Amino acid sequence: MSELDIESLSKEKRTFAPISDPRAKAYVPDMEAYEALYKRADEDPEGFWAERAKELVTWFSPWEKTLEYDMHKPEIKWFAGGKLNVSYNCLDRHLENGRRNKAAIIWQGEPEEDVKVYTYQMLHTEVCRFANVLKAKGVKKGDRVALYLPMIPELAIAMLACARIGAIHSIVFAGFSAVSLQNRIQDSAAKVVVTADAVLRAGRTIPLKPNADEAMKKCPSVDHCIVVNRAGLEVPMQEGRDCWWHECTHADGITDVCEPEPMDAEDILFILYTSGSTGKPKGVVHTTGGYLTYAAHTTQWVFDVTDNDVYWCTADVGWITGHSYIVYGPLCLGATSLMFEGVPSWPGPDRFWQVVEKFKVNIFYTAPTVVRALMREGVDWTRKHDISSLRLLGSVGEPINPEAWMWYHTYIGAGTKPIVDTWWQTETGGILISALPYATTLKPGSATKPLPGVDAAIVRADGSLAGPNEGGHLLIRKPWPGMLRGVYGNPERYKSTYFQRFPGMYESGDGARVDDDGYFWIMGRLDDVINVSGHRMGTAEVESALVSHEAVAEAAVVGMPHAIKGESIYAYVTLKTGIDESEDLRKALRAWVRTEIGPIATPEVIQFTEGLPKTRSGKIMRRVLRKIAAGVYDDFGDTSTLADPGVVQDLIEGKKDLTGN
Ligand code: WT7
């Protein structure tokens, strides 16, 4: 059996018809509008995108050609020759269009009393100042600047300051280790590092500058390090290299006037490192004109952001979600973006709802892992706050299992508010497959349909088109403005990872199927697929079945080598608070999966565990789970991105107790 026979047996059949927009001003008001837009974009992609780019972005001078591409080479250019500046689009133009005194960023720090509101005018001033600091440190157009910062306003300010002078930012999530930071600085040869003394997280103060110091030891490219005072920690400052943000932004000669650098549409805006299935993380390259157009376009259509909304994306700016949907998309539109420094569980599991109530949030975008974690704590926490301001909910990062979807819908969305399950990747720059909130009938667990202009297809291993409900490789056949333009410093890897196996098309690496109604069901990374007796099972589906059992909070499923079946299913299961592990429950869960999906999906082994090895972005590190399931307890590879590395040892002990080896 080959990879094309991935089985997707999700039994989910519920549908939820869209509600009509209570304000009657949705950008895409119904399915007819969607169909018409899809057709238009399909027949004339260049015309469609040129229109969007003109409407959403202010250009200093027009482009020569809307699109030039060769997906075999690959070489993709959108709006080439056009000149623009991202920071101008996110700031300056709003000073003239009536939004000068509007909140651009509402920042809620982890301590309840730490709140800052930046109007567009205030943000503009800070960005110009910091842009001048960067210039004073010798940063020029095209130079790389590494940003290693917690979720504080200075992170957004530094991004926009880089964009203003044409420097390329490379954000490294503050949860990454010194070694990870070092690798990323080295790969991009960054000249300047911007960091903070510490990160505030769940009531603790975690020093950050020492990591940067450790990393910079082996980074000869770095001339300067700018340090934000977040926590008032004493940190060693290296003479000549390090300076405090609050001092250098007010040094002699640093004014708040800084002209935006005119950039070509295809100049690099940023690099963002992401892990692949093999090797070191790759530096995904995004450029200026296409990325900004795409981020603004999707923010507008998918989240339906309008001028009076308070919009909150709970991601960290260190991930692509934060780049596109906390900073660039919302600010390009002149929206109000809430930036939150804290975590969902501290000081209590109602923190998110308390923040929603406090700022009367209208649009809320989070990850399934968060939904499941909060679901586990029970609904009483959601009832403590008035969250009726919410109008629209979003989900991203992994397939949302129907159980979590229903909980989100029922308890956060009051059973009426649209949920947009948005499928995309670091590489895609923005959302590709998603419901449109007031147009699409929803199916829990399905990302629904490709957005207009997105030519998504499911193909078999030989490149032929898969039929309805047949699992296969999810590919995108035509370029879209937000797509990556390279892997930094590694054109070979760019080509081989994304464009080689299915020549002329972008390979997402995900498996999916399309149902009879044309709905996409993402089945997870193809490398996470299990082959049991020649049948392919999507791990996400087994997990979803397990999680739909009333006793289960979370589940992670991997393949385990099996002498007869090839592979069998090994499930790690976290039970809901108050539920006890037992042999009976284990049996009941196996029977449950069998009836939910079919005998083929029955887990061979179920290991109960208190926690799963998750990265700080909430992704389960299956590589580690596969090793433990296989009884291999070393050589886990890079585990530096785990939120709690201690989980690994616990899992090993649990496995040994369970199977005796
Ligand atoms: C991978 C990309 C996109 C920003 C956050 C993650 C999975 C993402 C969904 C979704 C099913 C999803 C895919 C994809 N994924 N969103 N709505 N439904 N799967 O970015 O770290 O680049 O990860 O996340 O497997 O390939 P990323």
Question: For the segment 421-477, what is each residue's pLDDT rounded down to a tens digit?
Answer: 999 999 999 999 999 999 999 999 999 999 999 999 999 999 999 999 999 999 999
The structure tokens listed for 447 are: 């990302």
CA angle, 143 then 146 then 148, to 5°: 165
**Residue 294 and residue 351 in one domain:** yes
Tokens 């205030």 correspond to: 122
- The answer to whether residue 392 sits within a structural domain is yes
CA 424 to centroid of ligand 1, rounded, Å: 5
| pLDDT the model gives residue 276 | 58
525, part of any domain: no
Our answer on whether the CB atom of 322 is closer than 6 Å to any ligand 1 atom is no
What CATH number is associated with residue 473?
Answer: 3.40.50.12780
Centre of ligand 1 from the C-alpha of residue 510, in Å: 9
Q: Which of 479, 513, 547 is the last residue of a domain?
A: 513
The two counts, helices (H) then strands (E), for the chain are 21, 31
Determine, yes or no, domain membership for 320: yes
Structural domain span for residue 655:
533-659
Please tell me the least confidently modeled range out of 65-79, 133-147, 303-317, 624-638: 624-638
Whether 294 is in the pocket of ligand 1, judged by its Cβ within 6 Å, is: no
Nearest CA to ligand 1 atom 23: 425
Structure tokens given for 300: 């507008």
Q: Which pLDDT tens digit goes with each residue over 328-365?
A: 999 999 999 999 999 999 999 999 999 999 999 999 99
CB atoms within 10 A of CB 24: 8
User: Nearest residue CA, atom 3 of ligand 1?
Assistant: 425
Query: How far does residue 490's CA lie from ligand 1's centre (Å)?
Result: 23
Same domain, 465 and 597: no
Protein residue with its CA nearest to atom 16 in ligand 1: 397
Residues 484 and 572 in one domain: no
**Residue 518 forms part of a structural domain:** no
Q: How far is CA 267 from CA 81, 289, 322, 484, in A?
A: 10, 8, 21, 12
Closest ligand 1 atom, CA of 315?
A: 5
From atom 27 of ligand 1, which residue's Cα is the shortest distance away?
425
Domains contained in the chain, number: 2
pLDDT at residue 533, rounded to an integer: 67
Are residue 447 and residue 545 in the same domain, yes or no?
no
Of 513, 542, 575, the last residue of a domain is 513
CA angle 211, 216, 222 (to 5 degrees): 135
Q: Are residues 486 and 548 in the same domain?
A: no
Mean pLDDT of 42-59: 98
The pLDDT mean for the chain works out to 93
Q: Let me know if residue 648 belongs to a domain.
A: yes
Residues 498, 611, single domain; the answer is: no
Stretch 211-238: mean pLDDT = 97
Measure 321 CA to ligand 1 centroid, in angstroms.
Answer: 10
Residues 605, 506 within the same domain = no
289 assigned to some structural domain: yes
* Same-domain pairing of 41 and 91: yes
Neighbours of 616 (CB within 10 A): 17
Residues in CB range of 243: below 8 A, 6 or more apart:
224, 225, 226, 227, 237
406 CA → ligand 1 middle, Å: 20
pLDDT tens column, 112-122: 999 999 999 99
Atom 20 of ligand 1 has which residue's CA nearest to it? 425
What is the CA 546 to chain-centroid distance, rounded? 25
Based on the domain organization, do 428 and 337 belong to the same domain?
yes
ipTM for the whole complex = 0.99
Instruction: Count Cβ atoms within 10 A of the Cβ of residue 68 and give its class: 0-12 exposed, 13-18 middle, 19 or more buried.
Output: middle
- Residue 47 clears pLDDT 70, i.e. is over it: yes
CATH of residue 608: 3.30.300.30
Do residues 218 and 361 share a domain?
Answer: yes
pLDDT band at 280 (very low <50, low <70, confident <90, very high): low
Extract the tokens encoding 111: 């301590």
State whether 232 and 349 are in the same domain.
yes
If asked whether residues 473 and 547 sit together in one domain, one would say: no
In a domain, 527, yes or no: no
Task: Answer whether residue 1 shows pLDDT above 50.
Answer: no
Among candidate residues 481, 513, 545, the one where a domain is terminated: 513
Q: How far apart are CA 271 and CA 281, in angstroms?
A: 12
Q: What pLDDT, on a 0 to 100 scale, did the predictor assign at position 534?
A: 54
Picking from 125, 16, 9, 12, the residue whose alpha carbon sits closest to that of residue 410 is: 16
For residue 278, what pLDDT is reported?
A: 52
For residues 215-222, average pLDDT: 98
